[in-house]
Structure 1
Amino acid sequence: MSSRIVVLISGSGTNLQAIIDACDASDYPGKVVGVVSNKADAYGLTRAKNADIETITLSHKSFESRKSYDQALMSDIDTLSPDVIVLAGFMRILTPEFVKHYQGKLVNIHPSLLPKYQGLNTHQRAIDAGDTVHGVSVHFVTAELDGGPVILQAKVPVFETDTSDDLAARVHEQEHRIYPLVVKWLCEKRLHMKTEGDNEFAVLDGKILSISGYAND
């Protein structure tokens, strides 16, 4: 039986498309059953509709607080009975209550080699710092922004002539490769999040992953 995947978006949905495409393979262990957006004009909703996937639009502008929005968001997501929840360009900071509700099955992709460059404008920050290597991280979501345990990273070179757009394009290519793979691991129940005291770890096939995730070399 396929795992049920729900994807949260705010924009164009290229990572969503990569996951939808991966799910088309006969041996992929999951299926996208719903796409939720906080923006009605997000092109990712069109991608979902083209693939006959249920869509939900829930504008944060209709709510008085982040907490009330997240409560409504949880209610909508729960109607889809998800096994895996994927943040794919969902431009909202989530409340601790939301994160706790889905702890261990909620993942995000961030365009840097975490823990470097948490937050926004990661490509320009890497260029400004003179980095020669940049990349992308998939991680479990915890209450700390971009701070959950890393599952998998992909590295890309930074060239002297790069603009932030050049670097972003190189990173996006890797995003579309590694995100469907991590989602696959979750669907197969090979991947888990483990908590020991104040520390959290990503665990794949029973082994705790390093701070940089799987295959960080």
Structure 2
Amino acid sequence: MPQIIKRSLVEQAVEQLRERIARGAWAVGQRLPTEPELAMELGISRNTVREAMRVLAFSGLVEVRQGDGSYLRACVDPLLAVQALSRCSLAQAREARHILESEAIGLAAVRRTDADLVALHEALAGISAHFQGEADTYIAYDLVFHQCLVDAAHNPALSELYRYFSAVLASALHHSMSEGPRRQPVLDLHRDILDAVEQRDPERAKALSRTLINEP
């Protein structure tokens, strides 16, 4: 029973803090009140505040800096966005990839660095090695490859959005693999996309990305 009560208090504290964040009580980047201050304001113990801050840090709303305090990282809970993404259909996921991934890959072809190419070649080697192997391992390498492509655009907002979107992409990959065997043209498209990025050809990179996204 004490554990149930404690968990309930933490949940209540998390909800109150989320409401304050939503109301704009603190600006993004601002240092939050200390644990004793929040405990006094909310009428709860410091331990409960500490647990609540851990929850908010895990969700991406708060950044806890050891020895410095807690800072507001975002005013919208990223977990809510993840939940919304998880409810979209395969067709909706494909539409989102066209808008987000293809355009990001076009930017990557212009902005990529030598370090980006090294990471991409390593991820592609993993895809090739496990193309006919265990599905989870293959999908893990595939997600790394696509994340590296988006990261090569050097736009933190795009990278973060795509990172949240990866869960939906993984689900789509699992679905497509259950429908039939893996096809060589899919692997070839990955290689061609990397070649277009390496050759700094954004239009070709975007066109190949759209072709890959439309693959069943």
TM range (shorter): under 0.3
Q: Which has the higher helix share?
A: 2
TM-score (norm 2): 0.23
Q: Which has the higher strand share?
A: 1
TM-score (norm 1): 0.23
